[in-house]
Amino acid sequence: LMGYVGFANLPNQVHRKSVRKGFQFTAMVVGESGLGKSTLVNTLFDTPLYPPKEPLPPHAERPSTVAIESISADIEENGVRLRLTVVDTPGFGDFVNNEESWKPIVESIESRFDSYLEQENRVNRSKIVDNRVHACLYFLQPTGHALKPIDIEFMRRLHTKVNLIPIIAKADTLTDEEVTDFKARILADIAYHNIHIFQAPTYENEDEEAITEVEEITSKIPFAVVGSTNIVHTPDGREVRGRSYPWGVIEVDNEDHCDFVKLRQMLIRTYMEELREYTNDVLYENWRTEKLLSMGV
Ligand code: GDP
Ligand code: MG
């Protein structure tokens, strides 16, 4: 049985727009293998989109390029339909030479823009399928140090084409202090390299509650997350999604333990529509303008 994901708030996020057609939302996950991408996707949508992976036998031939793999699911909540697609990018960062790991990912994002543009140019535009990537979760290895060259390169290549949401993977492997220091260094690196990450928007005349919410979310970026769909028992007898250690339990849905709840709030409950809008109005529009200019139109 699926739990409550939270997108049923979409009609409110969209205000006047029609909810009849349902919504399309595409999220991409990027990061070295083993950082918990599939687990986090399952945790976010509380449904096993990704079945447990069979380990490759040692002699199996390993792919030598980044693959682009999509999974879609139609989910419904309080009468709101969402066609959710998750684009996984296995192979990123896993090779001896990762210099061009970002390339197939840029190509995939641009070809989705291309397909959208082509549909927009059709006479009959009633059945436009929006396969554009609305958010890219970029998983940082929990080293506690700084961004790695591959992280900087990826974000520099992608930040004008997709809403980047950096996250610290497997945050349970760092202490609270290490997380705080690591976040500060990541943000300093991001600023130094002029990388634009997705910002929760603020509007004039917004009420206090909404402003507090934006501030709370923004203060957690880059989100330090823990993923798990396993139910574990806490010492005080509760059943929670989490990870059990000899020294205690890390609770996925406990805001004192990690930023999972805030990430979900940003991605699904509060800003799914903002992510879609920014993709359409800014990222896609800039790409389209540049493309038409380069074609001499
Ligand atoms: P992917 O290759 O990035 O998709 O990573 P997976 O989701 O397949 O996870 C790789 C391994 O890391 C699995 O054994 C997971 O159980 C484990 N894992 C996933 N998320 C976390 C996490 O937040 N913390 C810890 N400690 N382990 C995790
Ligand atoms: Mg995976």
Q: What confidence tier does 154 reach under pLDDT thresholds 50, 70, 90?
A: very high
Backbone angles phi and psi of 74, in degrees to 5 = -95, 115
Q: What is the pLDDT of residue 18?
A: 47
Nearest CA to 162 out of 14, 55, 23, 26 is that of 26
- Number of Cβ within a 10 Å radius of residue 58: 5
H-helix or E-strand containing 166?
strand 164-168
Q: Could you give the CA distance from residue 254 to residue 261 in angstroms, rounded to a whole number?
A: 7
Residue 191, C-beta contacts closer than 8 angstroms, at least 6 positions apart: none
Question: Does residue 230 have a pLDDT over 60?
Answer: yes
Question: Does residue 5 have a pLDDT over 90?
Answer: no
Q: How far is the CA of 170 from the centre of ligand 1 (A)?
A: 7
In contact, 249 and 231? CB cutoff 8 Å: no
- Residue 288 corresponds to which tokens in the numbers above? 């389209």
Q: 3-class SS at 29?
A: strand
- Number of Cβ within a 10 Å radius of residue 211: 12
Q: What confidence tier does 1 reach under pLDDT thresholds 50, 70, 90?
A: very low
Nearest CA residue ID for atom 11, ligand 1: 34
Nearest CA residue ID for atom 5, ligand 1: 36
Helix ranges (H only) for 196-270 are 208-218, 260-264
Tell me what the mean pLDDT of segment 27-48 comes to. 91
Question: Does residue 77 have a pLDDT over 90?
Answer: no
As for the ipTM of the complex, it is 0.99
Q: What confidence tier does 241 reach under pLDDT thresholds 50, 70, 90?
A: very high
Q: What is the pLDDT of residue 94?
A: 86
> For residue 258, which atom of ligand 1 is closest to its CA?
23
Q: What is the pLDDT of residue 158?
A: 97
The number of the ligand nearest the C-alpha atom of 252 reads 1
Q: What is the pLDDT of residue 63?
A: 67
Q: What is the pLDDT of residue 17?
A: 52
Q: Is the CB of 35 under 6 A from ligand 1?
A: yes
Question: Does residue 19 have a pLDDT over 60?
Answer: no
- 65-79, 160-174, 249-263, 280-294: segment of lowest average pLDDT: 65-79
Q: 3-class SS at 53?
A: coil
Q: Is the CB of 36 under 6 A from ligand 1?
A: yes
90 upstream amide cis, omega within 30 of 0: no
Nearest CA to 132 out of 289, 36, 51, 23 is that of 23
Residue in the structure block whose two tokens are 């309080």: 78
The mean pLDDT value of the chain amounts to 89
The number of the ligand nearest the C-alpha atom of 41 reads 1
Tell me what the mean pLDDT of segment 187-198 comes to. 97
> For residue 41, which atom of ligand 1 is closest to its CA?
7
Task: Determine the residue type at 29.
Answer: V
Tell me what the mean pLDDT of segment 86-114 comes to. 92
Measured between its terminal Cα atoms, the distance across the chain in Å is: 52
In contact, 240 and 252? CB cutoff 8 Å: yes
- Number of Cβ within a 10 Å radius of residue 38: 21
- Residue 18 corresponds to which tokens in the numbers above? 């029609």
In contact, 218 and 199? CB cutoff 8 Å: yes
Q: Could you give the CA distance from residue 30 to residue 103 in angstroms, rounded to a whole number?
A: 12
Q: Is the CB of 229 under 6 A from ligand 1?
A: no
Q: Is the CB of 39 under 6 A from ligand 1?
A: yes
